[in-house]
Structure formats: structure tokens, C-alpha cells
Amino acid sequence: MTVGRAEVGLDANHQGQVPQDTAPVFTPDPVTLAHLELILNGAYPLTGFMTSEESASTIKHGRLPDGTAWPVPVTLPVPDELAGAERLVLADPEGAPLAELRVGQHWWSDHRDHEYGHRLAGEVRFARPPMYGVLRHLRLAPTEIRGQRDIGGFADRPLLAVLAERPLHHRSLHQIRAAAEEIGGDGRAEVLVLIDTPLDDEGLTPAILAAEPLLPPRTRFVVTTLPTSGRRDGHPLPAGRHDLLAAHVARAYGATHLLIDRAPGDPAATCEEHGHAPIPILPAAEWRYDTREELWRRADQVPDDRAETEPGDAEVEEMLALGRELPSWFTPARVATELHRLCPARTRRGLTVFLTGLSGSGKSTIARGVAEGVRRAGRTVTLLDGDVVRRLLSSGLTFSRADRDLNIRRIGYVAAEITRHGGVAVCAPIAPYAATRAQVRAMVEENGDFFLVHVATPLEVCEERDRKGLYAKARAGEIPEFTGISDPYEEPTDADLVVDTRDAAEGESVAEVLSALRAGGWLPDHHDHRNHPSHVEHHDHR
């Protein structure tokens, strides 16, 4: 989020004009940005952000104070310095103004899950079309879709909106076609697929689009971002509210019915929870794959002993990670191909192997062996370990807690860049603080995979080894803030693997890590050492 000041003016037609005065510029959080776009493009029947009374009524009753049904609060949290603003320019993350808010109420939320307690309410006035966000060419406004249907002469036909957050596999495609036939009667129903994805991430959208030839004729696709916060202002929303929000947005696009594509096993909301829906939310007909007939049929026509169990999303993700083919009975070839492109096998993904443990735990020795094993498996690897890295990457830093944290973040940044380019980074710093390790994990996982190894050798064993005499100096007070003696080591609770070198030979610990990487799919099961050139870049850091 950013706060600043810029000269922004709006004319009577709500278009950007030569500035006349100044107003604070604020970039809202992603949830609020999603609300703002849906207000501005007409998908919401709202003119701006809610007052305290409107928000409370929506949370409690699912209605505005005037009785209008509406499922979720739409509020604008702002930092303290903007709490008294009378005007506010709302901008995207790149600083481009989207709208001007004329503040009608300043209010405070006592119970919240947001860092800001202050709220501003009031109407928003359009400034300029949004440019920020992925798949902008598919983020069509409701008026555009309704206009296309009018021009095509199909405006009087039923329109089935399908909310999709995941690829459309065979079961989902059968459900969509069955629902379209049901509401269309003579086959005249059209389909609009609303793809729900974040503003800055296309996610699995290409895999959803890959199913287009298998959907009814004239199926249209629109990308939108429905706010995903199940709690706002600290209040849990009743079940089914997200479905109701989708129904309101679908109606704005001209839909007469809504079908929500759900993962296997996901429970559907009850009829009571859908009671305020502006259009019918259809229950999805159940389909099962008949192994004897080798086709999909309605569930009541397939005996249990002939029904194939459909893999869930987590199982599909694991199959893709391990490079396994998705069953043809489960998903169309076009969708499978796109999924394999979007979610390559782990042997082709960047990876950071991050070993953490006390000084003398053996992590550096293990890291060197792991790097060599990764190299022999045919992957490009960089070893970040020991004094060389501290001298070259973090020259000038002290051993204070702040500087040690900065040192780890720098290592994390380098590892994240290696990972982003498809390489393997093996890091072995002490990294005693959980918060800093979490920051490194977050940096890496933006573009690749992170594997945390806790080398959990006990302190007394590390002290016995004490090859450099560091523990003795720390005990004597010669080294301040020494991890394990005068400064804490926060043991990981999120380690992917825990090894203890106390009674293990060096080769055993290395083999344990390599075996875990191989089982996870990051290393191939079989490799010929003779066919893989060396790719190790060796740097030291402790």
C-alpha cells in the first residue's frame, strides 16, 4: 500500500482533467482494490464504500439498511494519516489514479482483521480505465457483455454464468452442459464463464480457457476478481455469502442462472444460505466415471463398484509436480497439456534447499554433500555457505541481530533469484529467527519451491565439536549475542525435514536429504553420472 499526494482533478464527466488542486493519493489493499474495480465497472450496484451502519447491517442481516439484499461489506480501510481526509484519490499499485472518493463519513472499526482501523465512506467517481492487472483484455465490463448479446440477437435467451476458479475437467464440463440444457429447454441457453483470479496473478486461467471447444457454442469468458476475504472488520461472514456475491456479479453481466464449479468433495451451500440470491444458484448434477462403459454418466446410473474416484485438486497438483500424466478419463487432453505447462514437474522448477541449525551442527558439511548430489543428478546448483559469502555479499555487517537478519535476507534474495531462473540454491546459514526464515520462504516461493531442513544437532554436541573455539569464547563473554548461548535459536516448526548428526555419519545425513528431494520430485529417480557435466558454483556462508 502506498500513500502520497498528487495533483488530480476530475471534470463533470468523471474523466481525468488538468489538476486544479491537490488530494492525497492512496493505494488500497488487494481486497479493496477488487471491490473498487467491481464498483467502477458496474458489476456492483453500489456507488462507493459503505458507512458504518451499512457495513454492520450487511454483516448481520445480508441487507443494506434500506432492505436491499447485499451479501458482503464493502469498506475502505485507511492509515491514521488519512483518517480525516475529505477527498482521496484511489490509485493502483503502479500509482495510476483510478477514482476519486468524496468522503461522506469517517468511522472506526473496533474488531478487525486489517492493519488499519479507520474507514472512509462515500461515493467514488471514475477517473480513468484501469490498466493494472493480468488478463486485462478479458476483464470486460458488464455493459460490454450485455452489448455483445444485444448485437448478436441473443439477449432474450437464458444465460448460464459459471463461476470457475479451477480447470474445467470432464465432470465439470458435463455439469455445465447439463445445466445449460436444463435452463435452455430447446438448447438456446448461452454460457458465460466467470474466471475468478487475483488482479496480479493469472493462476490457472489458461487451463480454464483451454476447455472452450468442449463448452456449448457462443460460450464467453470474463476474468474478474471477487474479493476473497471471508472475514472483514473482524466479523466472520455466514456460509454462502461468497456464492451470493458471485450471483450479484453474474446478474450484472445479464446472467439468468449461476452454476458454481466446485472441487470434488467441496460442500455446496444450502438453499437457506442462498435465500437472498438475485438469480437462481443451481445445484450441480452429480456425474461419475463408469469404468465398465468407459464414459461419464449421471451418478445415479453408475454403481459404486464401477465408479472411478476422481482425484482432488491436491492430488492433481502432486501428479503434476512429479511429472505424471493426468488420466484421460479425468481431464481433456487440451486441459492436461496446459496444466503441465503451467505447473511443470519439480525437476524443472527452481528450488532453494535451506539448512538451518546451530553453529557446529554439521549443516555446512551436509550442504556441500547435498550440492554435489544435486549436481550429479544433472541440475545446476549454487552453494551459499560460509565465510566467503559473508565477506562478499554482506561486507560491513556486524553480528547484531539486525545485521544478522539483513544478512539472511540478502542470502534469501540471491537464492530467490537463482530459484526464479530454474536453478537450485543450497543455503546453510544459522538463521536463528523464525520470522526471518519465513521472509526468505516467502521470497523464494513467489517463483519456485522452498525446502527447509532443520539440522537439529543438540547444543551440547555442537559445543563438544567447537572446532573454532567459538562456544568457549561465547561462554567467556568474549562474543556477544552468540546463538545458543547469549542469543536464542528458534527451532523451526515448519521444517520439511529434520536431521540429527549426533549419531549419523556425514554420508548418511547427506543421503537423507537427497532421498527426501528425490521423493519430492525435485531430483530424478535415476541418473547417469557420466552424462551430466559439473554445474556447481561454490560460495561459503555461515
Instruction: Please answer whether residues 12 and 88 qualify as being in contact, where contact means their C-beta atoms are separated by less than 8 angstroms.
Output: no
Instruction: Please answer whether residues 79 and 116 qualify as being in contact, where contact means their C-beta atoms are separated by less than 8 angstroms.
Output: yes
Whether residue 362 is annotated as binding a ligand: the answer is yes
Whether residue 172 is annotated as binding a ligand: the answer is no
Q: For residue 169, with 0-12 CB atoms within 10 Å meaning exposed, 13-18 middle and 19 or more buried, which class applies?
A: buried
Of 414, 373, 375, the closest CA to residue 541 belongs to 414
The helix or strand, by DSSP H or E, that contains position 408, with its residue range, turns out to be: helix 401-420
Whether residue 57 is annotated as binding a ligand: the answer is no
The helix or strand, by DSSP H or E, that contains position 290, with its residue range, turns out to be: strand 287-290
Rg (CA), the chain: 28
DSSP output for 446-494: TTSEEEEEEE---HHHHHHH-TTSHHHHHHTTSSSS-BTTTB-----SS
Whether residue 204 is annotated as binding a ligand: the answer is no
DSSP letter at 380 equals -
In degrees and rounded to multiples of 5, residue 185 shows phi and psi of 65, -80
Residues 6+ apart with CB under 8 A from 23: 5, 6, 7, 8, 85, 87, 88, 89, 100
Q: Half-sphere exposure of 321 toward its Cβ, with a 13 Å CA cutoff?
A: 16
For cell 502432486, the residue is 318
The three cell numbers locating residue 488: 536464542
Whether residue 473 is annotated as binding a ligand: the answer is no
Annotated binding site for ATP: 357-364
Annotated binding site: 357-364
